[in-house]
Amino acid sequence: MAELEIQNQNLMPKLIDYLSSLLQRVAEANDINGRFQPQKISVFHGLSRPNISIQSYLERIFKYANCSPCCFVVAYVYLDRFTQCQPSLPINSFNIHRLLITSVMIAAKFMDDMYYNNAYYAKVGGISITEMNFLEVDFLFGLGFHLNVTPTTFQTYCAYLQKEMLMQSPPMNFEDSSLFMGRSPKLQYICFNEDESSSQQQQQQQQLVV
């Protein structure tokens, strides 16, 4: 999976830049919506907005984590799943940094043969090892331990991100992203329903047999 289309390292700065921009807009949009819709406070929430920007934070993770490029796409898949499984915990300016460091660390553990331990990621993320451990456990339970990313799902997310990075026009409708609070996921906007796809494939196979 690591060999798929993001193998070109020249694309990574663009990927980091685009993901940062997307998550920044999602966080700001959910900050506004949070004034009108109730949101739970979780272990990912900070008491205040971090001084470091989302882009600088993601660039820091990319610089020091030394994980394979595919981990950042998989981390984004995890964030998408997390927001679907935990609709009352949308991404916002108070939790995005902790969600990012946790999702990348878990993606690296799942995808890479060699990866840094929690203590190292805690230093990269600017948090304590104790907090890093708590964040990992909470994120895993929030995902329902659904960590597997099929090649089809990976290609769907990767192709979409590449298309947006290279074209940048028309801009993404962030309100249709499943990361945007209060919206249902749609296939054309990144989210991929693996169970529904498998069911459709089985139905098509049955029709062919008949």
- Provide the 10 A C-beta neighbour count for residue 33: 15
Mean pLDDT of the region 34-57 = 75
Q: Give residue 205's pLDDT band: very low, low, confident or very high (50, 70, 90).
A: very low
Confidence of residue 5 (pLDDT cuts 50, 70, 90): very low
Q: Which of 20-29, 67-76, 165-174 has the lowest mean pLDDT?
A: 165-174
Q: Choose between 32 and 100: higher pLDDT.
A: 100
pLDDT of residue 30: 82
* Residues 208, 210: Cα–Cα separation, whole Å: 5
Q: Which residue has the higher pLDDT, 54 or 3?
A: 54
Question: What residue type is assigned to position 64 of the chain?
Answer: Y
Could you read off the pLDDT of 55-110 as tens digits, one per residue? Answer: 899 999 999 998 888 899 899 999 999 988 888 788 888 889 999 999 999 999 99
Q: What burial letters (b/e) apply to 49-86, b meaning 16+ CB within 10 Å?
A: eeeeebeebbbbbbeebebbbbbbbbbbbbbbbbbeeb
pLDDT the model gives residue 180: 40
Model pLDDT, residue 91: 86
Higher pLDDT: 194 or 44? It is 44
